[in-house]
Amino acid sequence: MKIASAASALPEHQYDQRVLLAALRDYWGARLDNPLFLERLHARVGVETRHLALPMEAYYDIQTWGQANNHWIDAALNLSEKALTLALQRSGLDSSRLGAIFFVSVTGIASPSIEARLMNRMNLPVNIKRVPIFGLGCVAGAAGVARAADYVRAFPDQVAAIISVELCSLTLQHDDLSIANLISSGLFGDGAGVALVAGSEVPCDGPRVIDTRSVFYPNTEQVMGWDISEKGFRIVLSREVPVVVEQNLAADVDAFLASNNLNRAGIGNWILHTGGPRVLEATQAALQLPEGALDASWHCLRKTGNLSSASVLLVLEETLLHRRPSPGTYSLMAAMGPAFCSELLLLQW
């Protein structure tokens, strides 16, 4: 099994972080008890630019969750098409090879789901197995690649696509001045990521998927996720996220690597979800990684913000295109998300 390619698609509406901060400060106005606190939060998230599904002024016209979700459907379909088309082009594979599509998102819902609409738009094979996944949040990009690897292990002559679309701007609660929502307003962005995982009988280039592992942390449901109401998705973002990383990730990674006769010193490349500065710092500390080991993740965070499940796929793309390790190098691809849980993949180039 190999990751044949990865590709991203970002909305055309790109804004400097300072422009978005000014708009939010003006919008909330006197309701903000301490405008300087919002500025400090935005300064700490490590984001320079973000892409939005809609022009910034269009968000003022959204009054209901239904309206926001309709925008999500339109943008998700467009971005999925762009990212999947580019991933196929980069891999040199034809869409007729696709045997399964895993579609993940936690920022909107649709039935028929997005990959079904995409099959119609792109005239994809009618026998593709569709697996829409909702609720995994930030971990879903890595989990989707792992489930795609499970699929092609059973069908080695096929290719499975993982498509992630997260349009976080369409979930922002305009009347929520909680710290979690204020952080969210500065950290999360919009975009899509795609990875193609090819079975062993499909000729392609890319890192081999050696092994995968899922880890669930009991009784951590309130660490991260959504509270869902008639107004849509309200962010749950606990201060405990970095603590959970620090307390669990190293032991889980060590156990996973040991089962493959490896240790952390044997990993030459790290492909990690861009959870935010505190999460990346906690990850680096927990795993005792050398300076520069997470440069690809920091780069993607600065450029796009946290794209939830799509983030790790953008880090994968960045690695494939610009930071490709030498042949034989082992990589660890990982993400963490709601439940709380982690997903680990061992790759070899």
Specify the higher pLDDT residue, 227 or 295: 295
Q: Is pLDDT of 231 > 90?
A: no
Map out the domains of the chain as residue ranges. 2-198, 208-348
- The reply to whether 208-348 shares the fold of 2-198 is yes
- CA–CA gap between residue 29 and residue 243 (Å, rounded): 33
Q: Is a pLDDT exceeding 90 seen at residue 147?
A: yes
CATH 3.30.70.1070 matches 208-348: no
Element (H, E) at 255: helix 241-258
pLDDT tens per residue across span 150-194: 999 999 999 999 999 999 999 999 888 988 999 999 999 999 999
Alpha-helix runs per DSSP H in 49-200: 65-91, 114-122, 140-154, 179-187
What is the average per-residue pLDDT within 287-297? 96
Q: Select from 1.10.10.10, 3.40.47.10, 1.10.1660.10, 3.10.129.10 the CATH code of 2-198.
A: 3.40.47.10
Indicate which residue of 138, 168, 300, 341 is catalytic: 138
How many CA atoms lie within 13 Å of 322's alpha carbon, on the beta-carbon side?
10
* Catalytic annotation present for 168: no
Is pLDDT above 90 for 5?
A: yes
Whether the CA torsion 199, 202, 206, 208 is positive or negative: it is positive
Please give the Cα distance from 183 to 292 (Å, whole number).
25
- Percent of the chain topping pLDDT 70: 100
